[in-house]
Amino acid sequence: MAGIADFLDSLIGGFDLICFSLAIGGLLWVLFVLRPWHDVRQYSTVLLEKTVTLLYKSMFLLVAAQVFKIILKIWLMAAVLDRWPFPEFAETTQFFGGIVRSVLTLALAGYCYYYLRHYPSSRKHWMRAGLAALPMIISSAWLVHAAGRFDNKLFLMSFTVIHQIVAAAWIGGVFMLINLWLLRRDNQVSAELWPLLLKRFSRFGMVSVGLILVSGLPIALQYIDTWNGLIGTGYGNLLFVKVTLLSLALGLAGLNRSSVLQYGYSGNDYNLNHRVPYYIEAEALILVTLLFTAASLASQPPAIDIPALTATWQEVLDTFNPKMPRISSPTHTALIAGEAGRVAIIDQVPSVAATEWSNYNHNIAGIFLTVMSFFAMLSYAGHPKLKFASYWPLGFVALGIFLFFRSDAETWPLGPIGFWDSTFNNGEVLQHRIATLLVFVLGLIELSARASHDTSSKKSLMFPVLAAFGGLMLLTHSHVGFQAKSAFLIQVGHTTMGIFSLVLACGRWLELKLDSPGKEMAGFISVAALFQIGLILIFYREPLY
């Protein structure tokens, strides 16, 4: 129950941050980038209506997400305590802060719905909406890590809220750029608006990113006090993932800025219309994943609080050391025999069979992926005799079947625990089942898409979307247990694969969208990322302690 609640909490937490970014970032986008009151004639009614609609809908969804988070906590406590958690829960900061934030967000959404819909170019109403957003933003301070600390509480709460605002400004602005491009593509806004607002947002985005770094560094230094804390804890690992994703997004943002500058120098808008929109779409994929990673980070204990459970950098590096893959599996009987001791709360006994079973699964999956990536590379050669290599996505189908039987052997179809009971009472099993289905469907869809050679179809775009979702699943992967260090050493491999899954997704997305030479380069990067995931799985070893 705790595992599935942790998984759902990460998902709804990520959705909450997306809605917050759209709401607050969208509001800042209008106030500092769009500024519709300056020259109403240059903005189409459709753009203003669509922008306001996105704002109030995201605010209503933010209310729903916050209420659902409270319900989720009530459900978990009732299940664990076997009684109704009130009135005690009503006296907690989480409950009171969540209710206050919901009410304030609802009031803000109501103002946008009743006033900005009718006066979308009114500076007075936009300013009032900005002021009305301040109490809601401030109320978020009581729902972050810092609210439960004793040292530097006010400092950490303040900087966390600032960090959330500037992150929302950048990410919400990226979402608004996508909205603008879709309208521009359908000729619902004037052609001049696209380069104009790109230029404005370029400056706005640079300031936002600078403030993200300035506000985030003091928080990180407060929660992580040693290098081992950064490298050897779940909190530090997810923070490192956030920095990596931020760097990837900034790389794409840099390409956008160079195109904007090139347009300013030469007046050539080819890159602005044929490359920048797709860079922004890939950037949005990364930023959405970053938000879900941030939500998972919020569920981890800060590294400074668990010095006794911190892994050393040598232990972390050892998880990636090349090792011979395990190609023989323990019997299912041996696995089941050790389960009672492995999951015991008292006198827990590590199961060698369970560890070797897991190692075998991961290593064989790695062999699948490295072989698939090899054939994928051959398929890009374009030689008629290598046409068979284009069927490499069949490997995903075979891998899905393999994982269906092997991923959780203590459950159906091999084990004694029923399918529904294991799926909905164990967060880790639920994620494994989703991942298995994802891999199987991924293979069928990509095989069909590559056979049709239609890169513009929605079917072709399903592969990068599902691959990005797979990366998100890996980054929010939950291993609930009492041995935090061993759980972390498993997590670090999953999070690394999650990053490469996202690179795989973005590379394939850009391959489908861009022209040459970017198309071929993106395709190669995508396949190389698949190869790297395969190597990580081949060398995977689960700690036996």
When the pLDDT of each residue in the chain is averaged and rounded to a whole number, the result is 88
* Residue pLDDT, tens place only, 364-402: 999 999 999 999 988 877 767 777 888 899 999 999 999
The reported pTM is: 0.90
What's the average model confidence in pLDDT over 68-90? 85
For residue 177 the two structure tokens come to 């750029």
Q: Which of 158-167, 231-240, 334-343 has the highest mean pLDDT?
A: 158-167
Nearest CA to 511 out of 521, 503, 502, 501 is that of 521
**What type of residue is 265?**
Y
Backbone angles phi, psi at 134, to 5 degrees: -60, -50
Print the SS3 string covering 122-138.
CHHHHHHHHHHHHHHHH
For residue 494 the two structure tokens come to 């999953």
**475 — pLDDT class (breaks 50, 70, 90):** confident
CB 371 within 8 Å of CB 522: no
Which of the two residues, 452 and 258, has the higher pLDDT score? 258
Nearest CA to 446 out of 374, 532, 504, 533 is that of 504
* Residue pLDDT, tens place only, 357-370: 989 999 999 999 99
**What type of residue is 461?**
L
- 278 vs 259: CA distance, rounded Å: 13
pLDDT value, residue 428: 74
Which of the two residues, 9 and 75, has the higher pLDDT score? 75
For residue 86 the two structure tokens come to 């009130």
Window from 286-290, 461-465, 474-478 with minimum mean pLDDT: 474-478
- 78 vs 86: CA distance, rounded Å: 9
Dihedral of the alpha carbons of 505, 509, 510, 512, in degrees to the nearest 10: 140
pLDDT value, residue 343: 60
Residues 6+ apart with CB under 8 A from 352: 330, 338, 544
Q: Is 430 helix (H, G, I), strand (E, B) or coil?
A: helix
Which of the two residues, 349 and 30, has the higher pLDDT score? 30
* Alpha helices (H) in 224-269, listed in sequence order: 227-231, 234-266
* Residue pLDDT, tens place only, 160-199: 999 999 999 999 999 999 999 999 999 888 888 999 999 9
CA 177 to chain centre: 20
Q: Is the pLDDT of residue 291 over 50?
A: yes
Q: Is the pLDDT of residue 312 over 60?
A: yes
CB 335 within 8 Å of CB 357: yes
Residue 293 half-sphere exposure toward CB, CA atoms < 13 A: 33
For residue 531 the two structure tokens come to 């190869």
Window from 97-106, 303-312, 326-335, 474-483 with minimum mean pLDDT: 474-483
